[in-house]
Amino acid sequence: MTIAQLADEVTRAAGTGIPVHVVGQPTPGLAGPRYVPSLRRAAQELGLVNAVDLEEGIRRTLSWHAPLD
């Protein structure tokens, strides 16, 4: 999943209707300026197990960040 796809998922789950715009494109063959960890490697080396799927994780995160009434 790309960062743009993740942003689309968050926007959809939040119901904001805010479009996602990707400002730059990666240069093929060159590492980007940010490191994105491998979940597969974390599972193999650290025993990481996802307790919830992506959609539920986004929902919980949005709920946690929601303003208190």
What pLDDT digit, counting tens, does each position of 15-63 carry? 988 898 888 777 788 777 777 778 888 899 999 888 899 999 999 999 9
What's the pTM?
A: 0.65
How many residues are there in the chain? 69
Q: Is 6 or 28 the better-scoring residue by pLDDT?
A: 6
Task: Give residue 2's pLDDT.
Answer: 80
Task: Give residue 69's pLDDT.
Answer: 65
Residue 12, pLDDT above cutoff 90:
yes
